[in-house]
Structure formats: C-alpha cells, structure tokens
C-alpha cells in the first residue's frame, strides 16, 4: 500500500496528522465490520427454522416392545420402548469389545441426568454413509443383535443402538432430549 | 449553489400552498402512541390486552397469518404462558395415515386462519374477505390513527344527520363509519364496552379495547421496531462522529490548497 | 512507492511486484486512482459519482442476501418478504436498506445528472461518457420497475399491469408484445418469475456499463465547475488523497441521511397500499410508481393519445442521448452562461412539478386561489421539458453572450483566494 502521501499542511504537525488518519481509519474499519455483521448473521438459521429445532413427543401411546419414528431437524429419530429382555441384552455387553465403546446407561440419560432405561431415543441415520436403518417398524429385519439393520451396506446395531457388525464406525447418535414429564419428551 | 437552493425552496413552497384536492374523509383522530418517534417503544401490557381483544373478537373473521404463536413471547410472555394462551386452539394437520386430523396448536404454528381460503372468507362475509391483519397498520394511510378511527368511528343510523345520510347514501342496514372512505363499511361495529374481560383487570371500555388492539396490531405489523430505533440512534451517532473525523482529515489534506 | 508523472510505478513489495508483472492491477490503481491528475476546483456536486457507485454496490449486496430468502412465486412472494422482515436474522434491516437504497441510488444519480447538465459535462469530448450514463439511467429504471413488482403487493401488481399494457399502443404488434412480456394473458406468476430473473441480472450489466463509463471518463479526465480544461499540473491535484478523502467525507454525510430514512422513516417514500397482497380483481384508488419515476409518469399521462404518451415518455429520456448535439453553446459551464443557468433551474422546477403531477390523479385540481386542473399543469410541464431541450438549447447556444472566462483553473482559484 502506498506510504502516506498526505502532504504536511501548513497547520498539521506529524503527530496530529497521524492521529487523525489513524483514528478515522480505525473508526471506518469498525463501521465496516459493524455493517458486515448483519449480512453474515443473516445467513444464520431464521426464527422459524429455530422454532422447529425441538420437537415434543407424547410417548404414552408407544407400547412396550414398540417403536416409532419422528422427524427432527429434517432427520428421522427412532423412539423405542424397550422390553426387559432388550435392556438386559444391552447391559450384558462387554463395553471394551465394542468398536465405539459406550455403556448402555450413558445412552439412555436425558439432559436432566435422569436415566430411563425403557426409552431408547436415537437419530436414525447410519453412521456409515447416512442411510436410514431398518428395525423400527413391526416386521422390519433387526439384524443379529436385535437392534437395527442397515440395508445399504449391512451395518448392524444392538438393542442400545451401538454398532456391532458392518462398516459403520460409530454408534447411532443419541440426540439431546429431556423428559418434561413421564410421558412427554422434548428432543433437541 | 445558494441560488439553486432558493429556487428549489420557492418551487416547493408553491406546491405546498396549492394542495391538490381529493376526496378526504373527516380528519383522523390523533391518538398518542408509545411507539411513535425515534425513541418509540411498544406498550407490552397494552399489546397483551390487545391480543386478548384480537383472540376474543377479531380472530373470528380476520386472519393474522404472517405471525406464529411463538411471536407472542416478544410481548413479554414466557413459552409456557404462550402455550397456556393457545391451549384450546385446534389446528389441522396430517396424521400418520395421511388423513387430515386436528391437533392442539403449538408455539411454532402460524396463527390459525378463521377460513380455509380467500373464497370461503369472502362468501361468509357478503362477497368481501375480511383483510388479514398482519401488516394492517402499514397497509393503511394514517396507520394506527386510521385503524383506531375505524374501530371507534361507527355512528348508529339513528344518530346520523340528514346530510350525512344523503352524502353517504346510507340506509339503516349499512354500517356508517366516520373515517372509512365512502363511510359505508362492510364490517359491523366489532367492539363495545366490556366485550372483553381483561386478564389484568383493566376496565374494558370501547376506547380502551380499540387502543389496546391497535397497540397489538402495530407490534404485529412491525415487531422489530424497537431494535430498529435503537440501532438507528447508534448508527447515526457513529456516522456523525465519523463525519467529523473525515471532515478534519479532508481539511488537513486540503490545507495546502486553500 | 508513489511514482513521478508518467514513469511506471515500482513496487518495493515483492508479492505485489510479482502479481503486477503478470496482471497490472496495482499499476492500474496507482495510475487511475492515486496519482491521476484531477481538477483542483471540484465542488461537492462531484462527490455523487462515487456515492452512486457505493449505492450500486450496496444494492447488489443487499439484493443477493435478500434473494437467499425471497420466493419468486405469486403464491409465496408476499409471505416470503414478511418472513424476511420477521424471522430471518437482520432481515428487516437488509430489506429496508434495499428498499430505501433504491430511492437514494436514484437521488444520487439525479444530482449527478444535474451536475452534468449545469456544468456542461456532456459536451465534447465527453459525449460518449454522457451517453453511457443515459444507458445506465435506463437500466436503473428497468431494474427498479421490475424490483418493485417482486413483493407482489397491490401496487406491485397494478403498476406492472399499467406499464406493461402501454406496449399495446404499438401498432400491429403491440398486443403480441404484451402477451410475450407477460408470458400469459395478464400479469401473473410467469411475469413475476421472469422479472425476478431479469432484476437479478440487470445490476451486473449496470456494473459493466459503469466500468465503461469510468474508463471513458479517464480518457480525458473530469470536467470541473469552470468548464475550462486543465492546462498543467498547477490546475490539478492527485486523486488520492485529495478526492479520496473529500469523497469519503461526502459519502459519510450521505450515509447519515440514508440511515435516517432506513431506521426512522423506511416506509415514508413508499405507498401503504403495497402492504396489501396483490388482488387481480380489485384496483387500488390510485396507481403510482415510486417517486423517482413520477416525472416520466406525468409526461406519459399528459398526452391524451396512448401511443403519443408512450412515445413522449420514452422520448423524454431518449432525447438525452443527443443532448451533446442539441446544445450549440461553445461554453461548457453555466458559471459563464448568465441566461441559460436560469433555464437549468427552471428545468429542475419543471421536473419537480411534473413529479407532483405524477403523484396525483390526473383529474385532480390545484387550488391556488383559482382552480387549475392538474392535467393542464402536467401538459405545460411536458411542453416546457421538450421546449427546453429541443428549442431553447440549440437557439440559446447561438445567441447567448457568455461571461468572460479566466485563462486557467489555477488563475481562477488564485483570484478567488486573493479576492
């Protein structure tokens, strides 16, 4: 950038001249950034998008052994009302042998730190390449571990949604959720 | 330069003196509104009462379809209070089997429309659909004063003078309104004393109801007004300071030329 | 790093030198915007070219960001604009900036044009520069017209209907042209969609023409308030820092007024009825365009014949192209044209009066003691406008005796300093 070619005027001495330039430049720069901010912020999610960032589900109609799929932030979320057998199977697994080690307890705790073993809430997106695994609806194949089976490349998840077999690297994600009452869960 | 400004000023003055005549109804009432002016803010208590008026009286015919229920939180209500207010409202949705169902309204829903579409609204109201109120304050010349005038400007037929009846060509089946252009408005007087039971105990006179609902509708038309005013003050103050600096720099640079 | 006059710039910074050797942007900037000799006697009217450029950039940036959320469909457009105003972060600010920015862009350009008219900036050798400017004005008007349709309010719809219907006045092919413009049998979704595409496109064409406009300017350099060519370095100063800083100051003052409207009176320049969603079955009481198109609207409506009105309206801008040849005066600046300068002011008043007429119904009556029909005022205004350009300018240029002119800019400045 050109060095300052401001001629030394009859009135200005160097320090005063520099102060003016620096101060004006700084002010203009601040103004520029302050102006740029609303434009950048404009691309952030809008209020109506944010309003749909949580979804409340009444889980009362889901019987033991049943599961449903709800839509949350554009993705499917599986809510399974686990049977005692499924819970025991999940807890009996040796966590150290898992590809993505996680205890079952950690995966059924809500944001208020309360554990509800009978409710398993998972983001229904296979962690391999993003297909929706089968196992929620009655009659769906569940794979060898009684959880979910992804038809795309054969990933198999157990009754805690953890990856056991197949190419997926991680367990099915557990979204943030909070039981606002025994029958009402707020996801997200 | 000075000559130009003088000529311009004379021209504008001449225009101002001769106002082009057009059909102007009675002078609008000028009510004091808290949201007017560069430092205006919304009277949230009035707006909350105004929502009550809208919900009780106006929503039967007028939609507010650009707003969502969650917007009411901007009036100082908590999410739970909003849920409480809309607890009895049922909205259409599609069930898991694809059929239309009714479910309780959520804050993320848009305000429920009284009629499914424009045609239904028109045929239920003598051929003219009641206008949506989302931006009504901005959509009418005179803004809040106009809407307030309409709501308070009804004159019963038996109180009209013979000139008014002749001028407006009005019969006893029409609704005469002082401020509506042409004076014959399709809407019957919507408000009256004690039409609404205010939650905060304020006495519900017609004028109070009208004022409150205008406050509510003004907020509905321009929810970001306070943000806009506040930012505007800061921006203009900043620019004035910057202008001062830029002027000093300009004088400094030009010092050897003057 | 500043160079002597004429010598190619040498850059100390190795990166800059490397780039410049391959793509001489830095030399270009150095020559055209740093050392570029600029007349030293500019007044503040000369700020408005820079201000207009700033507004163009502002309109493009706000426009692109708005386009991320706007829906160009007749069913969705109005609601999408309201969503921008309510739900999109800072959407209200960007929408109001874009809306008000259009008005201020035109204000800056009209002042810029006035400068050209008064100081004879359109005269040789700047005729092509002037004509490019008229092209920019036409493109701006087309862009603004289509932009106003996008919110799909009552005025959007009906303004589009009235103005597109004008083309039916063309004999033989008129109706086909209108159907072709509409993409249907009335202004409807196809019209809206194509107006959006074109409204997005045209500003970039404007950028191109502005670039040509500035290149043309730099061939002979700027005019100045005296209309006398610079005779040497004593008549000029380098563009930077003299005019960069003066323009900077002018820009900030302009922005203060702009901000005043954006934040405190954003709807004052518009029509309330455009907040009513478009209704093809109901016409608003008055159909008016935005203020910056009002004088031309008045000219259109002042001619009783439809085709005549269209011809006069487009003609009023078209004749600007040949202005350099209509003006026969050998003197550029009105500073030295004691008679013509008053007619320039009269033209300004005339345009303002025409604007006033355009804003009101042609049936309205002006009451200044006696009742004058506004239509008559508009017709007189139109008559003066054409008289000014087609008769007055050619004749006055020949018979007017100009004031004595100083031998150079430097002389004039020194005399002013001493006096």
Task: Give C268-334 as a DSSP string.
Answer: TTS-GGGGSBP-TT---S-----GGGHHHHHHHHHSSSHHHHHHHHHHHHHHHHTHHHH---S---G
d(CA C103, CA C60): 14
Residue B196 counted as domain residue: yes
Residue of chain A whose Cα is closest to the Cα of C61: A39
Q: Which of A9-18, A68-77, C123-132, C277-286 has the weakest average pLDDT? A: A9-18
d(CA B209, CA B215): 10
User: How many percent of chain B have pLDDT more than 90?
Assistant: 75
Residue B25 counted as domain residue: no
Residue B88 counted as domain residue: yes
> Which tokens in the block code for residue C149?
């349709």
The answer, yes or no, to whether residue B195 has pLDDT greater than 50, is yes
Question: Could you read off the pLDDT of C221-245 as tens digits, one per residue?
Answer: 999 999 999 999 999 999 999 999 9
Q: Which of A33-37, A48-52, C176-180 has the weakest average pLDDT? A: A48-52
Q: ω into residue C265 within 30 of 0, thus cis?
A: no
Distance of CA B231 to the CA centre of its chain: 22
The answer, yes or no, to whether residue C52 has pLDDT greater than 90, is yes
Contact residues on chain C for A39, CB-CB shorter than 8 A = 61-62, 65, 90, 94
> From residue A10, how far is each of A7, A17, B251, B256 by CA, in Å?
9, 11, 11, 6
Distance of CA A87 to the CA centre of its chain: 24
CATH of the domain at B149: 1.10.760.10
Distance of CA C191 to the CA centre of its chain: 25
What class does CATH assign to C45-270? mainly alpha
Contact residues on chain C for A41, CB-CB shorter than 8 A = 89-90
Other C-beta atoms within 10 Å of C190: how many?
13
To the nearest whole Å, the CA of A41 is away from the closest chain C CA by 6
Mutation target for C interface from B2, B5, B10, B11: give the one with most C CBs within 10 A: B11
Residue B62 counted as domain residue: yes
Question: Could you read off the pLDDT of C109-131 as tens digits, one per residue?
Answer: 999 999 999 999 999 999 999 99
> 3-state DSSP: chain C helix, strand, coil percent, rounded to 5?
70, 5, 30
pLDDT band at A15 (very low <50, low <70, confident <90, very high): confident
More confident residue, B26 or C321: C321
pLDDT of residue C10: 79
> Which tokens in the block code for residue C70?
């706007």
The answer, yes or no, to whether residue B107 has pLDDT greater than 90, is yes
Question: Could you read off the pLDDT of A132-173 as tens digits, one per residue?
Answer: 999 999 889 999 999 999 999 999 999 999 999 999 999 999
pLDDT band at C250 (very low <50, low <70, confident <90, very high): very high
Other C-beta atoms within 10 Å of A35: how many?
14
pLDDT band at C142 (very low <50, low <70, confident <90, very high): very high
pLDDT of residue A17: 72
> What region, left, alpha or beta, does residue A113 occupy, with left being phi > 0 and alpha being psi -120 to 50 degrees?
left
- Which element (helix H / strand E) includes A147? strand A146-149
Other C-beta atoms within 10 Å of B257: how many?
13
Going by the DSSP 8-state scheme, the letter that residue B63 receives in this structure is: -
Count CA atoms within 13 Å of residue C339 on its CB side: 12
pLDDT of residue B23: 43
Contact residues on chain A for B70, CB-CB shorter than 8 A = 47, 51
Domain tally for chain B?
Answer: 1
Domain residue limits at B58: 36-246
User: How many percent of chain C have pLDDT more than 70?
Assistant: 97
Residue of chain C whose Cα is closest to the Cα of B132: C276
Given a contact as 3+ CB pairs under 8 Å, which chains touch C?
Answer: A, B
d(CA C245, CA A143): 73
The answer, yes or no, to whether residue A115 has pLDDT greater than 50, is yes
d(CA C77, CA C84): 11
Interchain contact C394–B (C-beta under 8 A): no
Q: Within the 233-292 window of chain C, which residues sit less than 8 Å (CB to CB) from chain B? A: 237, 241-242, 245-246, 248-249, 252-253, 255-256, 259-260, 262-264, 266-267, 272-273, 275-277, 285
- Strands annotated E in chain B: 20-21, 90-94, 100-104, 154-155, 175-177, 184-185
pLDDT of residue B25: 56
pLDDT of residue B78: 93
Residue B64 counted as domain residue: yes
d(CA C74, CA C7): 59
Q: Which of A1-15, B92-106, C77-91, C360-374 has the weakest average pLDDT? A: A1-15
A11 among known catalytic residues: no
Contact residues on chain C for A43, CB-CB shorter than 8 A = 65, 68
Residue B164 counted as domain residue: yes
**Arithmetic mean of pLDDT over chain A:** 90
pLDDT of residue B2: 59
Tell me the helices (H) and strands (E) count for chain B, helix number first: 8, 6
> Which tokens in the block code for residue C328?
């026969």
The answer, yes or no, to whether residue C80 has pLDDT greater than 50, is yes
Local structure of B205: helix, strand or coil: coil
- Maximum distance among all alpha carbons in chain C? 76
Buried b (16+ CB within 10 A) or exposed e, C105-137: bbbbbbbbbbbbbbbbbbbeebbebbbbbbbbb
pLDDT of residue A6: 52
Residue of chain B whose Cα is closest to the Cα of A17: B252
pLDDT of residue C376: 95
Count CA atoms within 13 Å of residue C381 on its CB side: 27
Spans of all domains in chain C: 1-35, 45-270
Region B71-92 average pLDDT:
93
Q: Do A38 and C34 touch (CB under 8 A)?
A: no
pLDDT band at A18 (very low <50, low <70, confident <90, very high): confident
- Which element (helix H / strand E) includes B230? helix B225-254
Residue B30 counted as domain residue: no
Q: Are B46 and B215 spatial neighbours (Cβ–Cβ below 8 Å)? A: yes
d(CA C42, CA C409): 11
> Which tokens in the block code for residue A154?
């054969």
Region A36-57 average pLDDT:
92
The answer, yes or no, to whether residue B148 has pLDDT greater than 50, is yes
Residue B20 counted as domain residue: no
> Which tokens in the block code for residue C104?
């201020």
Region A72-80 average pLDDT:
93
Contacts of B246 (CB under 8 A, 6+ apart): A24, C245, C248, C249, C252
């Amino acid at each position: 950038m050109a060095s300052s070619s401001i001629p030394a005027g009859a009135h200005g001495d160097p320090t005063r001249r520099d102060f003016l330039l620096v101060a004006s430049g700084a002010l203009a720069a601040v103004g520029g950034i302050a102006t740029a901010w609303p434009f950048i912020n404009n691309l952030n999610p809008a209020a109506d998008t944010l309003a749909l960032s949580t979804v409340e589900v009444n889980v009362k109609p889901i019987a033991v052994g049943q599961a449903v799929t709800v839509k949350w932030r554009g993705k499917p979320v599986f809510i399974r009302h686990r049977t005692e057998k499924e819970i025991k199977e999940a807890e009996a697994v040796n966590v150290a042998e898992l590809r993505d080690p996680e205890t079952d307890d950690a995966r059924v705790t809500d944001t208020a730190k309360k554990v509800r073993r009978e409710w398993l809430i998972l983001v229904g997106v296979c962690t391999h390449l993003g297909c929706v695994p089968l196992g929620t609806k009655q009659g769906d194949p569940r794979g060898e571990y009684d959880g979910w089976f992804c038809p795309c490349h054969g990933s198999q998840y157990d009754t805690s949604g953890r990856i056991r077999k197949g190419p997926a690297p991680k367990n099915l994600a557990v979204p943030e959720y909070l039981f606002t009452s025994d029958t009402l869960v707020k996801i997200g | 330069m000075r000559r130009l400004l003088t000529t311009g000023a004379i021209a504008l003055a001449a225009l101002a003196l001769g106002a082009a005549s057009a059909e102007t109804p009675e002078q609008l009432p000028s009510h004091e509104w808290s949201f007017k002016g560069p430092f205006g803010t919304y009277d949230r208590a009035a707006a909350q009462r105004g929502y009550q008026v809208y919900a009780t009286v106006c929503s039967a015919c007028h939609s507010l379809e650009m707003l969502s229920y969650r917007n009411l939180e901007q009036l100082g209500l908590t999410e739970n209070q909003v849920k409480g207010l809309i607890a009895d409202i049922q909205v259409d949705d599609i069930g898991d089997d694809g059929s239309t169902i009714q479910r309780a309204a959520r804050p993320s829903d848009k305000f429920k429309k009284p009629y499914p579409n424009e045609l239904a609204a028109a045929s239920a109201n003598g051929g003219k659909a009641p206008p949506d109120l989302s931006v009504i304050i901005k959509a009418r010349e005179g803004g809040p004063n106009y809407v307030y005038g309409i709501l308070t400007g009804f004159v019963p037929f038996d109180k009209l003078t013979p000139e008014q009846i002749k001028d407006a060509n009005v019969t006893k089946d029409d609704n005469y309104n002082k401020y509506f252009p042409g004076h014959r408005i399709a809407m019957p007087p919507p408000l009256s004393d004690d039409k609404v039971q205010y939650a905060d105990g304020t006495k519900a006179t017609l004028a109070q109801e009208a004022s409150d609902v205008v406050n509510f509708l003004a907020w509905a038309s321009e929810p970001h007004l306070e943000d806009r005013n506040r930012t505007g003050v800061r921006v203009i103050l900043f620019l004035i300071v910057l202008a001062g600096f830029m002027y000093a720099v300009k004088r400094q640079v030009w010092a050897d030329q003057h | 790093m500043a160079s002597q006059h004429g010598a190619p710039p040498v850059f100390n910074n190795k990166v800059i030198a490397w780039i410049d050797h391959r793509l001489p942007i830095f030399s270009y900037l150095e020559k055209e915007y740093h050392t570029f000799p600029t007349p030293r006697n500019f007044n503040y009217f000369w700020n408005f070219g820079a201000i207009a450029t700033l507004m163009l950039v502002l309109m493009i940036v706000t426009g692109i960001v708005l386009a991320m959320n706007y829906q160009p469909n007749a069913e969705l457009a109005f609601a999408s604009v309201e969503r921008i105003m309510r739900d999109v972060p800072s959407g209200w600010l960007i929408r109001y900036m874009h809306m008000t920015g259009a008005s201020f862009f035109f204000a800056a350009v009209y002042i810029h044009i006035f400068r050209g008219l008064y100081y004879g900036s359109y005269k040789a050798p700047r005729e092509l520069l002037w004509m490019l400017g008229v092209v920019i004005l036409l493109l701006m008007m087309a862009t603004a017209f289509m932009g106003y349709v996008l919110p799909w309010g009552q005025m959007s719809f009906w303004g589009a209907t009235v103005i597109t219907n004008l083309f039916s006045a063309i004999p033989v092919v008129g109706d086909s042209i209108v159907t072709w413009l509409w993409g249907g049998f009335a202004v409807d979704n196809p019209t809206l969609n194509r107006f959006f595409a074109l409204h997005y496109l045209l500003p970039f064409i404007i950028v191109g023409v502005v670039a040509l406009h500035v290149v043309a300017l730099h061939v002979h350099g700027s005019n100045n308030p005296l209309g006398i060519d610079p005779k040497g370095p004593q008549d000029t100063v380098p563009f930077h820092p003299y005019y960069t800083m003066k323009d900077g100051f002018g820009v900030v003052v302009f922005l203060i007024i702009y901000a005043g409207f954006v934040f405190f009176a954003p709807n004052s320049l518009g029509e309330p009825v455009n907040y009513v969603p478009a209704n093809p079955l109901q016409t608003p009481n008055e159909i008016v365009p935005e203020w910056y198109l009002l004088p031309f609207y008045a000219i259109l409506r002042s001619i009783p014949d439809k085709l005549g009105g269209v011809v006069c309206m487009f003609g009023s801008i078209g004749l600007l192209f040949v202005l350099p040849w209509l003006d026969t005066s050998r003197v550029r600046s009105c500073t030295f044209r004691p008679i013509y300068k008053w007619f320039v002011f009269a033209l300004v008043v005339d345009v303002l009066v025409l604007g006033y007429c355009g804003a009101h119904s042609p049936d309205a009556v002006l009451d200044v003691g006696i009742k004058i029909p506004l239509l008559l005022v508009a017709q007189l205004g139109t008559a003066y406008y054409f008289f000014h350009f087609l008769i007055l300018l050619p004749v006055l240029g020949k018979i007017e005796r100009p004031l004595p002119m100083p031998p150079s800019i430097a002389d004039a400045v020194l005399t002013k300093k001493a006096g």
